[in-house]
A and B are shown apart, each in its own frame.
Chain A
Amino acid sequence: MARGGENRGRLLLIILIITSLFLITLDLRGVSVIGGVKTGTQSALSPVQKVGSTILSPVRNFFSDVFYLGRTQSEMEALREENGKLLTQLRERRSIDAQLEQLQGALDLAGKAEFKVVNARVISQGATTSFTQTITIDAGSDNGIRPNMTVINSYGLIGVVKTVYSGSSLISLISDPSFRIGVRVAGSQQIGILAGQGTRKGVLQLLDNQSTIKVGDILVARGSVNNRPFVPGVPVGEVTSVDNAAGAVTQTADVRFFADFSALSIVSVVLKGPESDPRDTLIPAKPMPTPIPTVTVFVTPSQSPSPNSAGTD
């Protein structure tokens, strides 16, 4: 009897494994039923995710606020009750302000480059069940988004549209370890391949062994045929260190991406690229040092010695 149960268990396990292998095979062969089910699931979940995003929007800021409040807890203790309502309003306002700022920045960049864009809110971030770096936005094929479109924000390039659903899209971030993009060093014709490393840092490999690069150089997207997946001229990042290894065939460098992937809330998908390459016009201006006012004091010695200094000698 027990042996019968054991055999039945083994049979079940084998059937389940074969089913999963069958599913993998079907998916890799591009059977539309599998894709259809996935799209259907996403279409059903998308409205719930939008609700979740709206509800949790103040909570996301709350985590950072708690950290800040913890440092000045003693001072805040007495005023907490009085400030409760104001803080709640402020959190909500901060969230809206941050989104507005990101939206304004993205629109400024898109406007300068003459991109036709559609703006979208980030409704989901990251994938703990895989090792890829992605975000989900609340705009999809209904808004004109197609796969392989460039995604930007106010700082520059964010990623590329990977999968499109009717009301949402999955974006592959440039920080993803599998992400590769052709870049150009601003102000020159040097080109290279920039690879994501899973963090805000990327690694640039120049294609020409005669080219040289230095710390502080700005990288912009080279652009692709018909502007997909990359529109040209979008700022990508800045060189932070250069590897000058003697045996290397070509020079490599570490690059810090302009975009902060941990604080994305509003992004823009480029529906139509510019008529002509904007070259280096989209590169953000370097911050100017704030002048510090100085005061010069002129002292005119008096003709007669003061009474205090009379007896010092």
Chain B
Amino acid sequence: MSTRKVSLSALLFLVVYVIQEAFVTQLHIGGGGFSLFLIFALLWAALSSPDIGALTGFAAGLLIDLSQSTNGAVGQWTLVLILVGFGISYLGLGYENVRMNPFTITLLVTGSVVVARVIYLVLSLLLGEKVGSFTSILTSLLIGALWSAAIVPILMPVVARAYDFIDDSRHRL
């Protein structure tokens, strides 16, 4: 990994993070909305190798942990996204079709968002935090998944182009 790749990726992640914190959280979107940054990070991980996926998850998770709207312990999202980032990139690497097919990518990222949130929830429970009723959790997960499924196809071409530009590779999505 060259310095150029690392610095450009870090800059891009910071820009998306600021957009998420400054703008996306302002919109009164139904059902709790979506996390643009989380979707972006998982899409990025899906296009990467497992090593880079885990590193991407680490960096993205750390940024989410530092967000003022995250109430859990610092490191909780980091741990979740290391695992999910590694997992999503491992799945993507193993099956070429997954990387080529936009529908599969959408499914993979949407599923990963749900899995990440479930792991976070389990960790919260293990750390003794109160997480609310079963119905509210289920609703939140379902609406989050629907939003992710709607956002991923829109975000995917942009992320793929940015990834190609930084990685100097060609992923046809």
* Residues in A lying within 8 Å of B, measured CB to CB: 8-9, 12-13, 16-17, 19-28, 34, 37-38, 41-42, 45, 48-49, 51-53, 55-56, 59-60, 63, 123-132, 134, 136, 162-163, 165, 168, 170, 176-178, 197-199, 262-263
Chain B's closest residue to A9 (CB) is: B51
Contact of A129 with B70 in the complex, beta carbons under 8 Å:
yes
Chain B's closest residue to A132 (CB) is: B71
Contact of B74 with A26 in the complex, beta carbons under 8 Å:
yes
Report which of B51, B83, B131, B144 forms a contact with A128, defined as CB distance below 8 A: B144
Contact of B32 with A126 in the complex, beta carbons under 8 Å:
yes
**One of B2-10, B15-23, B165-173 at the interface:** B15-23
Tell me whether A52 and B26 are in contact in the complex, defined as CB-CB below 8 angstroms, given that A20-B58, A27-B73, A131-B121 are known contacts: yes
Q: Closest approach, in angstroms, between the C-beta of B140 and any C-beta of chain A?
A: 6
Tell me whether A41 and B67 are in contact in the complex, defined as CB-CB below 8 angstroms, given that A126-B25, A178-B129, A198-B132 are known contacts: yes
Please give, as numbers and ranges, the residues of chain A lying within 8 Å of B137 by CB-CB distance. Answer: 131
Q: Closest approach, in angstroms, between the C-beta of B6 and any C-beta of chain A?
A: 15
Tell me whether A13 and B82 are in contact in the complex, defined as CB-CB below 8 angstroms, given that A45-B68, A48-B22, A125-B25 are known contacts: yes
Complex: A42 Cα to B129 Cα, angstroms: 23
Between A and B, 25 residue pairs with Cβ closer than 8 Å are A9-B51, A12-B54, A19-B78, A23-B62, A23-B65, A24-B127, A38-B66, A38-B68, A42-B68, A49-B21, A49-B25, A49-B26, A51-B22, A60-B28, A124-B69, A126-B25, A127-B69, A128-B34, A131-B132, A131-B140, A136-B25, A136-B68, A170-B69, A198-B133, A198-B136
Contact of B132 with A23 in the complex, beta carbons under 8 Å:
no
Contact of A13 with B54 in the complex, beta carbons under 8 Å:
yes
Complex: A98 Cα to B156 Cα, angstroms: 37
Complex: A125 Cα to B32 Cα, angstroms: 9
Contact of A129 with B64 in the complex, beta carbons under 8 Å:
yes
Tell me whether A12 and B55 are in contact in the complex, defined as CB-CB below 8 angstroms, given that A124-B69, A165-B68 are known contacts: yes
Contact of B82 with A17 in the complex, beta carbons under 8 Å:
yes
The interface on chain B, measured as residues whose beta carbon lies within 8 A of the other chain's beta carbons, has a size of: 54
A interface: dominant SS = helix
Contact of B33 with A45 in the complex, beta carbons under 8 Å:
no
List 7 tightest A-B contacts by C-beta distance, closest first.
Answer: A177-B132, A23-B75, A178-B130, A198-B136, A52-B22, A24-B75, A127-B69
Report which of A9, A124, A197 forms a contact with B26, defined as CB distance below 8 A: A124
Report which of B26, B67, B71 forms a contact with A60, defined as CB distance below 8 A: B26
Contact of A177 with B75 in the complex, beta carbons under 8 Å:
no
Complex: A59 Cα to B23 Cα, angstroms: 11
Tell me whether A130 and B130 are in contact in the complex, defined as CB-CB below 8 angstroms, given that A16-B55, A21-B79, A48-B21 are known contacts: no
Report which of A16, A52, A126 forms a contact with B82, defined as CB distance below 8 A: A16
List residues 102-153 of chain B with CB under 8 A from any CB of chain A. Answer: 117, 120-121, 124, 127, 129-133, 136-137, 140, 144
B27 in contact (CB, < 8 A): yes
Please give, as numbers and ranges, the residues of chain B lying within 8 Å of A176 by CB-CB distance. Answer: 132
B77 in contact (CB, < 8 A): yes
Contact of B78 with A20 in the complex, beta carbons under 8 Å:
yes
Complex: A197 Cα to B144 Cα, angstroms: 18
Tell me whether A124 and B68 are in contact in the complex, defined as CB-CB below 8 angstroms, given that A20-B75, A178-B130 are known contacts: yes
Q: Closest approach, in angstroms, between the C-beta of B21 and any C-beta of chain A?
A: 5
Contact of A20 with B21 in the complex, beta carbons under 8 Å:
no
Complex: A19 Cα to B57 Cα, angstroms: 13
Contact of A27 with B75 in the complex, beta carbons under 8 Å:
yes
Chain A's closest residue to B74 (CB) is: A27
Q: Closest approach, in angstroms, between the C-beta of A171 and any C-beta of chain B?
A: 11
List residues 64-100 of chain B with CB under 8 A from any CB of chain A. Answer: 64-79, 82-83, 86
Contact of A170 with B25 in the complex, beta carbons under 8 Å:
no
Contact of B26 with A125 in the complex, beta carbons under 8 Å:
yes
Tell me whether A53 and B28 are in contact in the complex, defined as CB-CB below 8 angstroms, given that A21-B79, A23-B74, A127-B71 are known contacts: no
B38 in contact (CB, < 8 A): yes
